[in-house]
């Protein structure tokens, strides 16, 4: 498999946001990867590592627990390289992602939640249990697999550094598995500690509090649904030293932000990307930016995967989906 098809995604200055915040704001467009998501990098690194270590062989099944995008990357590689795939997703996974997984011949298992490996109804628990009883399978486990971080440390971080001519002052990304922000943040911090690395998650997630206190405090507060980000458990790969701050945003505001961005730019931001835009707005209220600042926002995917869940009020043609996913 030619690794060059992954990464090297464009970084483009956004005139709308730059004018709004009176500084230089850039979008790292990860939806230019083969499967239109940042998770293509992660899937490639995890599968490549498993092959190198002889953990999988042809016709084996590669297993992952995913909100959709990593699963799509895994399913794509499996189909291209002679493996099978089995992806565990929650029942509220977007119909667009489910359709993509189906097109890639993935076995899809719908679970009640993604609340971590201790919850028997979660994607993570079910994926691990499946692997234990199926000898010819391998669980890539993106929440604990260091290749998740390494993919972004070795590729996305250096790309951003060079594409901004080493002028980047702030980096924003949504936080789900924490691999993206941990890998990129680590790379950028090694270049200069003055760069501010800011994560964004939904209200009710636990990682902002974990970052602030270093402790996991159990809460019955329901996490607001912003697909792709937010956790009720701490992923094993999180690197708190690489993250300066985690901002929590509301689902309703995130939806409105997505609509505003579309009206001004004609671009459909993915759900987590819209959350990043909301987090940027909140950050700038408390931390006034300078006209010399160069801020990079990572857009993990594009909004066409959320036509039903995020952009359903817009007059955008929707694809017909199998009744199985209705």
CATH number, domain at 221?
Answer: 3.40.50.1100
Number of domains composing the chain: 2
Joined together, the tokens standing for residue 321 give: 């989906």
* 301 phi and psi angles, rounded to 5 deg: -155, -175
Q: Do residues 44 and 135 both lie within one domain?
A: yes
Joined together, the tokens standing for residue 257 give: 């932000």
User: 321 lies in a domain?
Assistant: no
User: 322 lies in a domain?
Assistant: no
Residue 81 to residue 69: CA distance in whole angstroms: 18
Joined together, the tokens standing for residue 324 give: 């199985």
User: 312 lies in a domain?
Assistant: no
- Which range of residues forms the domain containing residue 299? 3-32+152-306
Residue 101 to residue 294: CA distance in whole angstroms: 36
Residue 161 to residue 183: CA distance in whole angstroms: 13
User: 146 lies in a domain?
Assistant: no
pLDDT at 317 (0 to 100): 60
Determine contact, residues 229/251, Cβ cutoff 8 Å: no
Determine contact, residues 252/228, Cβ cutoff 8 Å: no
Q: Do residues 229 and 163 both lie within one domain?
A: yes
User: 92 lies in a domain?
Assistant: yes
pLDDT at 308 (0 to 100): 87
**Residue at a domain's end among 92, 113, 139:** 139
Q: What DSSP character marks residue 293?
A: -
The residue behind tokens 């993935």 is: 106
Determine contact, residues 206/231, Cβ cutoff 8 Å: yes
Determine contact, residues 237/143, Cβ cutoff 8 Å: yes
Joined together, the tokens standing for residue 287 give: 């931390």
pTM (predicted TM-score): 0.95
Joined together, the tokens standing for residue 143 give: 């929440």
Joined together, the tokens standing for residue 129 give: 């249990």
- In order of 13, 127, 167, 231, the CA distances from 176 in angstroms are 25, 17, 27, 6
Q: Which residues of the chain have pLDDT under 50?
A: 319-326
Residues sharing a CB contact under 8 Å with residue 125, sequence separation 6 or more, in sequence order:
116, 117, 118, 119
Residue 59 to residue 66: CA distance in whole angstroms: 21
User: 325 lies in a domain?
Assistant: no
pLDDT at 144 (0 to 100): 98
Determine contact, residues 160/150, Cβ cutoff 8 Å: no
The residue behind tokens 């993604």 is: 114
End-to-end alpha-carbon separation of the chain, Å?
35
pLDDT at 114 (0 to 100): 94
């Amino acid at each position: 498999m030619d690794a060059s098809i992954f990464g090297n995604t464009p970084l483009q200055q956004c005139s709308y946001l730059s004018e709004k915040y009176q500084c230089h704001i850039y979008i790292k467009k990860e939806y230019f990867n083969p499967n239109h998501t940042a998770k293509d990098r992660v899937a490639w690194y995890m599968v490549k590592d498993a092959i190198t270590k002889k953990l999988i062989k042809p016709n084996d099944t590669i297993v992952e627990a995913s909100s959709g995008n990593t699963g799509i990357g895994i399913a794509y590689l499996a189909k291209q390289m002679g493996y099978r795939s089995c992806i565990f997703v929650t029942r509220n996974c977007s119909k667009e992602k489910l359709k993509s997984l189906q097109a890639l011949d993935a076995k899809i298992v719908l679970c009640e939640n993604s609340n971590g490996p201790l919850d028997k109804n979660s994607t993570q628990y079910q994926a691990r249990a499946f692997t234990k009883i199926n000898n010819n399978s391998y669980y890539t486990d993106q929440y604990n697999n260091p290749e998740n971080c390494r993919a972004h440390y070795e590729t996305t971080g250096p790309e951003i550094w060079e594409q901004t001519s080493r002028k980047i002052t702030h980096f924003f990304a949504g936080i789900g598995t924490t691999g993206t922000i941990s890998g990129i943040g680590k790379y950028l911090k090694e270049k200069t500690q003055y760069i501010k690395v800011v994560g964004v998650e939904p209200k009710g997630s636990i990682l902002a509090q974990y970052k602030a206190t270093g402790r996991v405090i159990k809460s019955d507060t329901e996490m607001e649904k912003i697909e792709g980000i937010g956790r009720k458990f701490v992923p094993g790969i999180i690197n708190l030293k690489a993250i300066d701050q985690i901002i929590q945003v509301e689902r309703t505001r995130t939806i409105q932000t997505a609509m505003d961005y579309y009206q001004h730019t004609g671009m459909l931001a993915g759900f987590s990307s819209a959350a990043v835009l909301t987090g940027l707005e909140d950050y700038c209220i408390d931390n006034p930016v300078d006209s010399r600042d160069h801020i990079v926002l990572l857009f993990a995917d594009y909004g066409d995967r959320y036509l039903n869940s995020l952009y359903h009020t817009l007059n955008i043609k929707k694809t017909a989906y199998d009744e199985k996913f209705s």
